[in-house]
């Protein structure tokens, strides 16, 4: 079985929010899809270990923000690689309250959808929640929604271990030039610092070796410090 085939499937990148009575959480998901149009129904696959899973199971509702290509990696990191049990997920994020009472992430969102859960399916590590759409609207008509391929290729993003599409080994990268500075991998989130690309969001220009990054530089995805990085083999 050639599991690299799974990388050929197309996805988007979304923030899923859920909760009730003032207690809410949000997480990144790439597996959101429309199931039927009449009535409009969505499915989302959520890892049972994720805090958002508990929230959806209890509140029976969720909201989806469709992220734009311009979404900074720091925001994806805040929702994708940090647990809502440990941090305030919505800190510094602009949020609006939806018809369902759920917080809808408005920053860098192309559009949002709110749904009420009408069914779920146990899939081992994950649950697929079916949600009937109760409200949806465009937030930024000019912005392009981010595809999962764009997230990986252009943003250098990785899948956390709880993602349905997580694979232990990333597919082989195209052949690299013979001599080049080493790449370093974040041991927390898997982000790779590539000297050829630098870190545009951290104002690090291409061509800066990892060794030469400022001591206070942190992982643009999860905020880990430099000593949490390992040189790529
Ligand atoms: Fe990291």
CA–centroid distance, 39 to ligand 1, in Å, is 40
pLDDT value at 178 more than 80: no
pLDDT value at 220 more than 90: no
pLDDT value at 203 more than 70: yes
Q: Is 4 helix (H, G, I), strand (E, B) or coil?
A: helix
Those residues with Cβ within 8 angstroms of residue 213's Cβ, 6 or more apart along the chain or in another chain: 193, 199, 204, 226
Mean pLDDT of the chain: 89
Q: Cis omega (within 30 of 0) on the bond before 15?
A: no
CA–centroid distance, 228 to ligand 1, in Å, is 8
pTM: 0.76
Residue 16 is predicted with a pLDDT of 97
Q: What is the mean pLDDT of residues 75-92?
A: 82
Q: What is the spatial distance between Cα 41 and Cα 65, in angstroms, rounded to a whole number?
A: 15
CA–centroid distance, 201 to ligand 1, in Å, is 14
Query: Which alpha helices (H) appear in the chain, and where do they start and end?
Result: 51-59, 73-80, 148-153
Q: What is the mean pLDDT of residues 114-138?
A: 98
Q: What is the spatial distance between Cα 189 and Cα 77, in angstroms, rounded to a whole number?
A: 9
Q: What is the mean pLDDT of residues 65-81?
A: 90
Cα Rg, the chain, nearest whole Å = 18
Residue 173 is predicted with a pLDDT of 58
């Amino acid at each position: 079985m050639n599991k690299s085939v799974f990388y050929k499937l197309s996805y988007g990148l979304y923030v899923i929010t859920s909760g009730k009575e003032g207690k809410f959480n949000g997480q990144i998901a790439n597996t959101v899809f429309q199931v039927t149009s009449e009535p409009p129904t969505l499915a989302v696959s959520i890892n049972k270990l994720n805090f958002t899973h508990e929230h959806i199971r209890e509140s029976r509702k969720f909201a989806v923000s469709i992220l734009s290509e311009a979404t900074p990696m720091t925001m994806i990191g805040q929702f994708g690689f940090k647990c809502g049990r440990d941090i305030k997920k919505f800190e510094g994020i602009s949020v609006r309250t939806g018809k369902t009472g759920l917080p809808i992430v408005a920053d860098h969102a192309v559009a949002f959808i709110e749904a009420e859960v009408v069914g779920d399916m146990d899939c081992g590590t994950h649950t697929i929640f079916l949600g009937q759409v109760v409200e949806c609207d465009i937030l930024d008509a000019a912005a392009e929604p981010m595809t999962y391929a764009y997230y990986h290729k252009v943003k250098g993003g990785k899948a956390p271990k709880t993602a349905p599409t997580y694979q232990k080994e990333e597919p082989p990268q195209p052949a690299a030039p013979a001599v080049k500075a080493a790449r370093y991998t974040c041991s927390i989130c898997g982000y790779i610092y590539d000297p050829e690309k630098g870190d545009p969001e951290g104002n690090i220009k291409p061509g800066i070796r990892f060794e030469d990054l400022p001591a206070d530089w942190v992982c643009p995805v999860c905020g880990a410090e430099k000593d949490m990085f390992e040189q790529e083999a």
